[in-house]
Amino acid sequence: MATVTASMVKDLRDKTGAGMMDCKAALAETNGDMEAAIDWLRKKGISKAAKKASRVAAEGLIGVAVRADAGALVEVNSETDFVARNDEFKEFVKEASHLGLEAEGDVERLLASNMKSGASVDAVLKELIAKIGENMSVRRATALAVSPGVVATYVHNAASPELGKIGVLVGLKSTADQAKLAQLGRQIAMHVAAASPLALSPDHLPHDVVEREREVQRDLARQSGKPEAVIEKMMEGRMRKFYEDTVLLAQKYLGPGAEGDVTVAKLVENEAKSLGTPIEIVGFMRYAVGEGLDKGPTGDFADEVKQMAGR
C-alpha cells in the first residue's frame, strides 16, 4: 500500500477543494493514485460539494423540535430560497432538528448523528449538496430544557409546523397546568419573535454591551451642557429605556391579548396569580434565518403581531 504523504493530501485538496480528512481517505482508498482519488471524491459527491463551499448560503430554514420539557432550534442554510422550499431540503431540516434535540444543541454531535437512512447528518448533507447543486450548511443549533415546566415554541413564516424563517423557544418553570403553561409560553414566544430581545433580564446582558451603551448615552447627555450630577440622574432614565427596549422581562408585551402597557414580567405575574402557582421564564432562544450573515430578521413582523393583538 502506497504511503500517503502530507504533500499528496495538499495537492489533492488544492485540486478538488475537498477537506483534508476526505482527501486523505480518498488517497488511502485508491493506493495513492491522484486521478483515481479525484474520481473517488467525485463519486462520493465530496469534491462537488466542497467547490460550492465558498458561496454564501444565507437563505434556508429554522427547524424546531420540542417535547414537553425540552426544545431545540437548528438553522440549515442554502444559497437560495428556492432550495429552502424543496421538499427534500425541508425533510432534512426537520429530521436534523429532532436529532438536534437529542444532541442537546451541540452542532458537532448533531453532524455525527445518524439519520433514518443510517448515514450521518454530515454525510447526508454532502449528498444533498451534490444532488441539488447549491452550497448548504448546518450553521448552528441550540437547546433549552426545564423541569418542572414546559418549553413552548413559535415558528414564523412557517413552511410547515416545525419549519420557518424565525424559530423561538421559551422555557417556563412551574408546576401549573401544562396546557395553560404552553399557551402562555406560545404567547411569549410570539412576542420574542417580534421584539427580538437581547437577554432575559439586565443581569443577563453582556457587560461590554451595557458599558458601550452607557458610554454612548453619557456622551449624548453631556451634549446638553448640564452638570455631571444632573447627567448621572439623566443616565438612570436613559438606561432604563435601553433595558425596556432590549430586555425581555422589561419589554412591553406585543403578543395576542395585550392590553395597555403590560410588560412581559407583568404578564407572567398576572398568569401566575390566575393559576395559583409561581411561573418563571428560565430562558428563551430566537433564531432568524441568515441573521449575522447578509440579512437580518424579518422586518415587518412586529406590526403583524400588533395587528393580531388588535393594537
Confidence of residue 50 (pLDDT cuts 50, 70, 90): low
**Three cell numbers at 141?**
443549533
Confidence of residue 200 (pLDDT cuts 50, 70, 90): very high
Which residue intervals of the chain bear CATH 3.30.479.20? 59-200+248-308
Which residue intervals of the chain bear CATH 1.10.8.10? 6-51
Question: Which is higher by pLDDT, 58 or 67?
Answer: 67
Angle among Cα 164, 170, 66 to the nearest 5 degrees reads 60
- Count CB atoms within 10 A of the CB of residue 112: 14
What CATH code would you report for 59-200+248-308? 3.30.479.20
Question: Which is higher by pLDDT, 113 or 49?
Answer: 113
Amino acid at 47: S
* CATH topology assigned to domain 206-246: GTP Cyclohydrolase I; Chain A, domain 1 (1.10.286)
In the chain, the percentage of residues whose pLDDT exceeds 90 is 52
Amino acid at 196: S
Length of the chain: 311
pTM over 0.85, yes/no: no
pLDDT of residue 238: 87
Which residue intervals of the chain bear CATH 1.10.286? 206-246
Which of 3.40.50.300, 1.10.8.10, 1.10.10.10, 4.10.910.10 is the CATH number of 6-51? 1.10.8.10
